[in-house]
Structure 1
Amino acid sequence: MTDVVQPWGAGEWTTPPVAATEDGDDLLVTAVEGSDAWRHTSYGFVHDDAHALLAPLDGAVEVTFDADLDQQFDQAGLMLRADAETWLKSGVEFSDGAPQLGAVVTLGRSDWSVAPVPDWAGRRVTVRASRAGDAVTVRARVDDEPFRLVRVAWFPPDAEVHAGPYCCAPTRAGLVVRFRRWATGPADAALH
């Protein structure tokens, strides 16, 4: 694989977390209570204070983290962002008593898709998003299992995008996420 591992210092925070400290090769991020990323749909509110560590993207981004999430709406994964109204987040979110693998695509308004992955709790998760033309293809896996398709989403082809790891804690204080790896590379050659 031709991906290049990014140093944690390669990005800038959209909203600074409570703390972000390096622990060996890992980055430990403590989320602010009430942090989230969402626009309008169904709930009627706008939240734009998730903690995303972003750098310019041309191709694919891959983020690995530990899915130690156990409170309602705890979440971690990756984010692609063009601006406040044009972004995608994908990863694991704790919802309704179980880890859920999902994605939110926001093009003025957010949507949300999830699927339960209870056996992913506490394990190492990798999420990969590949941008080519007018689409972002999102895949994810746990540990060394094969990647599975999460979403193919339309995304403005001319938008300048930044991407990297993200987390937030909409309902509680004290969420700490261990990010293991952040890498970028060329867009994936195949959809499947």
Structure 2
Amino acid sequence: MKWLNEPAVWSGDASDLTVAVEPETDFWRTTHYGFIRDNGHFADTGQMGVRFRGEFAAQYDQAGLMLRLDEEHWIKCGLELDGRLWLSVVVTNGVSDWSQQPAPEPDADGWYEIRAVRDRDSVQISCGEQPVRLAPFPEGVMQSGPMCAAPKGPGFTARFRAL
């Protein structure tokens, strides 16, 4: 497991990971807000799917899966708090876009599941059994694994399990 922006406090491994998400962290590139943030927590585990949950409390608290080629080409997908929990996908190809829909209910144990399937120049995102998005994504050597960030709040705890 290799970190991009390793959090100060975390425990576990690629199969069962707990992260104390630090405040003022995010992944975003230019669109609408005009800023670039690349300081969220990302663990490159090679996983293309994770089970996860978080103690989401502040606006934009987020956790899920990241696929990453470099700082200008990445996808983050998972849950994000914005008044309520949203299933959120941000695709960044030079600039970020953002799609969201109401979050599904968690499983009986309180976990969510997100998966990605790479096919040449695209990625298919699914949450549980529900297809969410098919997005263009450049070919290349990609990193993948758990992602979390807390852009506005004091931070929170996120937990990830391998599928």
TM-score by length of 1: 0.78
Please list, as runs of the form range in 1=range in 2, the aligned pairs for 1:150-169 lying within 5 A after superposition. Answer: 150-157=132-139, 159-169=140-150
Q: Distance in 2 between matches of 1:106 and 1:134?
A: 14
Aligned residue number for residue 4 of structure 1:
none
Amino acid at match of 1:151: R
Task: Check the 8 A contact 2:3/2:41 in 1, yes or no.
Answer: yes
Aligned residue number for residue 84 of structure 1:
71
Q: Distance in 1 between matches of 2:158 and 2:34?
A: 28
Pick aligned residue for 2:116 from 129, 141, 158 = 129
1:32 aligns with 2:22: yes
Deviates more, 1:113-122 or 1:101-110: 113-122
Please list, as runs of the form range in 1=range in 2, the aligned pairs for 1:62-81 lying within 5 A after superposition. Answer: 62-81=49-68
Which ranges in structure 2 are unaligned for 5 or more consecutive residues?
Answer: none
Which ranges in structure 1 are unaligned for 5 or more consecutive residues?
Answer: 1-10, 142-146, 184-192
Q: Distance in 1 between matches of 2:101 and 2:112?
A: 15
Aligned residue number for residue 36 of structure 2:
46
**What's the CA shift for 1:70?**
2.5
Deviations 1:33-81 (A, max 9, x none): 10000000000000001100014x5xx7111111432321000000000
**What's the CA shift for 1:103?**
0.3
Deviations 1:122-167 (A, max 9, x none): 92001000101111000012xxxxx11111000112x110000010
**Bigger radius of gyration among the two:** 1
Task: Check the 8 A contact 1:67/1:120 in 2, yes or no.
Answer: no
Amino acid at match of 1:139: S
RMSD: 2.0
Deviates more, 1:36-45 or 1:165-174: 165-174
**What's the CA shift for 1:22?**
2.2
Percentage of pairs with the same residue: 39
Report the secondary structure of 2:79's partner residue.
Answer: strand
How many equivalent residue pairs? 161
**What's the CA shift for 1:26?**
2.5
Q: Distance in 2 between matches of 1:30 and 1:140?
A: 24
Task: Check the 8 A contact 2:148/2:158 in 1, yes or no.
Answer: yes
**What's the CA shift for 1:84?**
0.4
Aligned residue number for residue 172 of structure 1:
153
